[in-house]
């Protein structure tokens, strides 16, 4: 066996695991890696790579498979965002495939319907679904095998059956008890009132048929064809506002990522309507702070949490549809502004809550990189679990409740308006070294997503952990169960006792969570060592996923 010469590069990536035990090894490969929150989805993506596809083909295949086997975190009725590095053209580009409020969705209309605040669930929490348009644009511009081929693994499992995992079982049990669960959901997911047992075989024939229709007729069938007409008819029957015209008007957009320097790399996120600016603010503020020697120290955690509070205050004040924003996103991540925000942090006292963040959020994040150098960071969601609690009859299409993020306060930055995109929690990420991908990363978790981005990037770049160790490391999340409640700092129980006590002494309202708590988000990532030609994959043990390589 011969050994390739080892070259060093700064900052170190794919390095040590730190002093913490590591539950899984990194996945190391050269031809490709796919990391996803369910093992069958990761394998579906890898199968596309082995069949001659590229990272985009793999990402779409994995996303479609997740809609079959992990439908409580994503679906055809939800939105999608992605960042793509296309090696053949040396192109870095973002995709915003989020939907807009219907043309009839005015604050006055919602007041007339009896709402003082946006409904969290139900037919009036739904915005136009963007996922299918995102698949189509990604496949057409960058894919190699075509959309129909990428959807085949999901269609096969939907028709032939798949084993039910614990996440799906528990999600169905919750929906069975939820007050907002609609009869259309029960007919699709709870036939005869049965909650599918872990390990039982289930099928998703209606969803498979919808995927097959998209594969044969193209994405336009979802917006201007048979599926679109069925969606609009469902809304008309249920008294909703989305019409055929709203679906036909939907467009996804190619966008330029925005960046800040952190730990020697350029971290890329998507511009608003995503909260990517929030993640970049947190990273930019922390990059100039004296963190402790240990990622789990009170000093490190305190400073990170304080940066979170400042960034979320700006999120509440400014972030919405970029076309309706009152400030430029770039102004919020300018070096002088970040320095001003950084100066507001006390090194040893917790500040008051500035804008409440929530704990809930159900999403899938996946990433793929191929041996030719292309990489995809993709995130997709129906928002709160199964979304609105509605499924379009006979289609398997679970409708998102992303509209719940709008405000009915006309003075709020994210006030509801016809045709407007709401503030979005979904944030794929990628970090570059010398203009080329070095890290492909993201996580599910609603308002927790930028908090996870901060912690994992810090673990990678400040504390030189490998990608698996950085994802597994104990995490915190800062938020509240409901808007207006006192925010608490939840720490996984693997944090040292002395850190917990020191944070309480600083004034943080600390609660302890399970050692590997799903509430902390499910992260996946790939570190790209371009000098060695090796891909390092990591997948979160908080989910049912895997990083698989070839």
Which residue has tokens 């994503």?
74
> How far apart (Å, rounded) are the C-alpha atoms in residues 470 and 127?
35
> How far apart (Å, rounded) are the C-alpha atoms in residues 219 and 10?
43
The tens digit of pLDDT for each residue in 481-515 reads 877 788 999 999 999 999 999 999 999 999 999 99
- Band of residue 413 on the pLDDT scale cut at 50, 70, 90: very high
> How far apart (Å, rounded) are the C-alpha atoms in residues 107 and 409?
8
Burial of 248 (0-12, 13-18, 19+ CB in 10 A): middle
165: left (phi over 0), alpha (psi -120 to 50) or beta: beta
Q: Which of 127, 301, 363, 458 is catalytic?
A: 363
> How far apart (Å, rounded) are the C-alpha atoms in residues 41 and 60?
10
What mean pLDDT do residues 73-84 have? 97
Inter-residue contact 371 to 320 (CB < 8 Å): no
The tens digit of pLDDT for each residue in 422-446 reads 999 999 999 999 999 999 999 999 8
**Closest by alpha carbon to 449, among 478, 474, 470?**
478
234: left (phi over 0), alpha (psi -120 to 50) or beta: alpha
**Closest by alpha carbon to 539, among 59, 37, 67?**
37
- Band of residue 400 on the pLDDT scale cut at 50, 70, 90: very high
Instruction: Give the number of other Cβ atoms within 10 Å of residue 174's Cβ.
Output: 14
Per-residue pLDDT at 125 exceeds 70: yes
pTM, two decimals, is 0.95
Residue spans per domain, the chain: 38-73+100-254+381-405, 256-361+426-544
**Confidence at residue 16, expressed as pLDDT on a 0 to 100 scale:** 54
Told to judge if 301 belongs to the known catalytic residues of this protein, a careful annotator would answer: no
Classify 512 as helix, strand or coil: strand
**Confidence at residue 484, expressed as pLDDT on a 0 to 100 scale:** 72
- What topology is assigned to 256-361+426-544 in CATH? 3.60.20
Q: Who has greater pLDDT, 388 or 353?
A: 388
Q: Where are the beta strands (DSSP E) in 31-78?
A: 32-36
Show Cβ contacts of residue 455 under 8 Å, excluding neighbours closer than 6 positions: 295, 304, 473, 475, 476
């Amino acid at each position: 066996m011969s050994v390739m010469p080892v070259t060093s590069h700064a900052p170190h990536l794919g390095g040590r695991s730190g002093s913490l035990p590591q539950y899984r090894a990194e996945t190391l490969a050269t031809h490709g890696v796919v990391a996803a929150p369910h093992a069958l989805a990761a394998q579906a993506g890898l199968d596309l790579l082995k069949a001659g596809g590229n990272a985009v083909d793999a990402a779409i295949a994995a996303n479609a498979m997740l809609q079959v086997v992990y439908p409580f975190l994503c679906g055809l009725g939800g939105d999608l965002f992605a960042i793509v590095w296309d090696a053949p053209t040396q192109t870095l580009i973002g995709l915003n495939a989020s939907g807009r409020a219907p043309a009839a969705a005015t604050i006055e209309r919602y007041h007339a319907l009896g709402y003082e605040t946006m409904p969290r669930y139900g037919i009036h929490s739904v915005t136009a679904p963007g996922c299918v348009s995102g698949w189509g644009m990604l496949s057409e511009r960058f894919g190699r095998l075509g959309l129909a081929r990428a959807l085949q693994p999901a269609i096969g499992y939907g028709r032939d059956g798949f084993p039910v995992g614990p996440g799906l079982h528990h999600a169905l049990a919750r929906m069975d008890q939820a007050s907002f669960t609609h009869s259309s959901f029960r007919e699709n997911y709870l036939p005869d009132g049965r909650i599918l047992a872990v390990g039982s075989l289930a099928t998703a024939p209606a969803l498979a048929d919808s995927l097959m229709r998209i594969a044969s007729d193209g994405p336009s069938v979802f917006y201007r064809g048979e599926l679109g007409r069925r969606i609009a008819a469902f809304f008309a029957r249920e008294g909703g506002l989305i019409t055929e015209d709203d679906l036909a008007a939907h467009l996804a957009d190619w966008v330029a990522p925005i960046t800040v320097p952190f730990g020697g790399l350029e971290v890329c996120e998507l511009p608003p309507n995503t909260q990517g600016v929030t993640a970049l603010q947190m990273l930019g503020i922390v990059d100039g702070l004296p963190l402790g020697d240990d990622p789990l120290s009170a000093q490190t955690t305190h400073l990170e949490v304080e940066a979170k509070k400042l960034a979320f205050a700006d999120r509440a004040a400014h972030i919405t549809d970029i076309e309706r924003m009152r400030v430029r996103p770039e102004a919020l991540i300018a070096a002088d502004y970040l320095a001003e925000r950084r100066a507001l942090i006390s090194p040893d006292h917790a500040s008051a809550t500035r804008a409440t963040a929530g704990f809930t959020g159900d999403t899938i994040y996946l990433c793929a990189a191929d041996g030719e150098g292309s990489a995809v960071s993709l995130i997709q969601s129906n928002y709160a679990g199964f979304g609105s609690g509605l499924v379009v009859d006979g289609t398997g299409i679970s409708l998102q409740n992303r509209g719940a993020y709008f405000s009915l306060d006309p003075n709020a930055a994210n006030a509801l308006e016809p045709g407007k995109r709401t503030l979005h929690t979904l944030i794929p990420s990628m970090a570059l070294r010398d203009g080329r991908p070095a890290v492909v990363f993201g996580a599910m978790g609603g308002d927790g997503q930028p908090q996870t981005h901060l912690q994992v990037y810090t673990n990678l770049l400040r504390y030189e952990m490998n990608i698996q160790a950085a994802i597994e490391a104990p995490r915190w999340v800062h938020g509240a169960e409901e808007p207006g409640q006192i925010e608490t700092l939840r720490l996984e129980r693997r944090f040292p006792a002395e850190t917990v006590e020191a944070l309480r002494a600083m004034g943080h309202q600390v609660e302890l969570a399970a050692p590997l708590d799903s509430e902390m988000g499910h992260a996946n990532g790939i570190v790209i060592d371009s000098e060695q030609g090796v891909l390092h994959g990591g997948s979160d043990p908080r989910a049912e996923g895997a990083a698989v390589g070839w």
